[in-house]
Structure 1
Amino acid sequence: MNTNKYIYKYVNKEDGMRILFDNTLKFSSPNDFNDPFDCYDELLKYDITKEFIEEQIKIGILKFENDEDKLPLHEQKKLLSNLYNSDNETIRNSLSFLRNDLKISCFSELYNQILMWSHYADKHSGFCIGFDLDLLSSSIDFILSKVNYSHDFEKINYCLSPNKALEYMISNKSIHWEYEKEIRLRTNIRKTNFKDSENGIVEINKDCIKEIYIGSKSHISNEEAYLLETKYSNFNTIIKKMELDKNSFKLNDMNWINN
């Protein structure tokens, strides 16, 4: 099976059951993430360009008074130097608006990462669910970002390309999070038809789900096992149970239900 096309979401049992039986996926605001440097303001700088000024005027964010629009570019930049900088409330409000508009769902490239099971799957008692990216894209209009990890960062010019700057903010994190091997899907309330927009809930096709891994400490009742087997037996979905290796610090995936 080609797992390169799959992305994996670690969840507690309750959220996992909701995904598996309600066929929904949750997208969250970056403001709710656990990393204080996530979508960090200071990743950006504001070196004003002529094109940026023209675009801000065009979309109605910026308005010159009197004949200020006729001034040479260097004079316009001087006028705007206090408006467009990282300490200015206008810019911060603008970035806050962008973050509030953003909805992100976080995944991993891996399904057997011990720390991910510990941190995001309720100490190995939840699930890790594998989604087919191609099929998922038929359910949701999203942009995929692979997260980059580094010790330090260079600031990118917001004024040169706001969209590129937004992508940079979303996809760069500290090296401390490298173990996550994170993949992000992002959308917004204007692009996606949310079932529950307040909580970021989106409906998905159940055939998007191709792999279900049950945590080593997860308890699945006979009724839950029957429901899982019944629902996913016709969708070429594998269901496995994670077990601790007896000779090394790793997790093994063992057949739980034979499809």
Structure 2
Amino acid sequence: MARILYKYLDITGAKCMIGNQNLQFTNASQLNDPFDCHPKLLDYSSVPERKLQGWIPEEWWKMKEENDALNLRNETWLCSLSKINDSILMWAHYCYNHKGICIGLDLDKIMESVPPMFGSIYIKPIVLDVQYYNIIERPSAYNSAQDIFNYQWQTKAKEWEYEQEVRLVMPKPSSIYATLTPAQAKHPKEIWDWREIHHYMPLKGECFESIYFGVNIDEQEKEKIIQFVRKKLNPHINLYQMCVNADAFRLQPEFIKPLNSDLSDD
């Protein structure tokens, strides 16, 4: 059974994603939570005896491990998706007060779309379900490397649990998929902060499984998107209009039936 994950976007971001058929990856240091992927999530105090048998002092090992964690954060790009499509908070925060859309993506087809050179180290993004905690349960930085990497990439505060986030994580993505904004392109290369530059992974049209339109979406924008996705993106895409539930504080999707006129022209 296909695993569908969701991306909440305002109209501008949605049209860019649909029109360009890609998925945006953001540097781990540039996210909206200052604790995200932070080196302080790990404990560097208990240096293993095996590392202290040589001439290198304990403090050096502590600084090295924390610096490695900082470098990992600065060299990792990720894409945040959600398990749910009806979060009132996310519709308000990420969809410009319910005026945007939520895109349903088929995870299996996304992974099939990954181009051969997208990652410099890993062939495909690592898929991680975010874990939420009330306190920082700092594991030893000297545990197995993959366990430490995963903990740093997938740990968030309990306050974010409503997002039910799933992350696609790509350490050191290839620079050929990096795209400058017009503002960034005006500056000399020497002063670019590479952490602020997004990477975009191309997607096949079949990756787009569904689109949910916000309660307050502009009807003209909605119609433009419907016409485009059915003709240019994926003729089998499922479309829904989010509505206010009359009996509960809950959003309710209503299926939008396809019209013959939507599919008449290619």
Common fold: TM-score over 0.5: yes
- Which of 60, 77, 81 aligns to 1:83? It is 60
- Structure 2 counterparts to residues 5-24 of structure 1, below 5 A: 5-24=3-22
CA gap of 1:223–1:121, structure 2 versus 1, over 3 A, is: closer
Equivalent residues of 1:193, 1:202 under 8 A apart: no
- Which of 92, 95, 99 aligns to 1:118? It is 92
TM-score (ref. length: structure 2): 0.79
Aligned to 2:106: 132
| Whole-angstrom distance in 2 between the partners of 1:193 and 1:36 | 28
1:233 CA drift (Å): 5.3
1:190 CA drift (Å): 4.3
Which one is further off, 152-161 or 239-248?
A: 152-161
Equivalent residues of 2:10, 2:99 under 8 A apart: yes
- Structure 2 counterparts to residues 4-153 of structure 1, below 5 A: 5-46=3-44, 47-49=46-48, 53=51, 74-76=52-54, 79-85=56-62, 88=63, 90-140=64-114, 141-153=124-136
| Whole-angstrom distance in 2 between the partners of 1:31 and 1:112 | 28
Identity %: 24
**1:248 has 2:248 as partner:** yes
| Whole-angstrom distance in 1 between the partners of 2:133 and 2:17 | 32
Which one is further off, 187-196 or 108-117?
A: 187-196
1:180 CA drift (Å): 0.6
Equivalent residues of 2:38, 2:73 under 8 A apart: no
1:191 CA drift (Å): 6.2
**Partner SS, residue 212 of structure 1:** strand
| Whole-angstrom distance in 1 between the partners of 2:41 and 2:248 | 40
TM-score (ref. length: structure 1): 0.81
Equivalent residues of 1:195, 1:202 under 8 A apart: no
CA gap of 1:30–1:233, structure 2 versus 1, over 3 A, is: closer
Aligned to 1:258: 258
Deviations 1:146-199 (A, max 9, x none): 011111132212222222111101111111111111100111334686263832
Equivalent residues of 2:72, 2:171 under 8 A apart: no
Unaligned runs of 5+ in 1: 54-73
Deviations 1:45-78 (A, max 9, x none): 2333367x5xxxxxxxxxxxxxxxxxxxx443x8
For the aligned residue pairs, the C-alpha RMSD in angstroms reads 2.3
- In the alignment, residue 201 of structure 2 is paired with which amino acid? V
| Whole-angstrom distance in 1 between the partners of 2:234 and 2:130 | 33
Aligned to 1:206: 205
CA gap of 1:257–1:14, structure 2 versus 1, over 3 A, is: farther
**Partner SS, residue 110 of structure 1:** coil
- Structure 2 counterparts to residues 161-176 of structure 1, below 5 A: 161-176=144-159
| Whole-angstrom distance in 2 between the partners of 1:24 and 1:31 | 21
**Partner SS, residue 187 of structure 1:** strand
CA gap of 1:100–1:257, structure 2 versus 1, over 3 A, is: farther
| Whole-angstrom distance in 2 between the partners of 1:206 and 1:125 | 24
- Which of 137, 147, 163 aligns to 1:154? It is 137
- In the alignment, residue 59 of structure 2 is paired with which amino acid? N
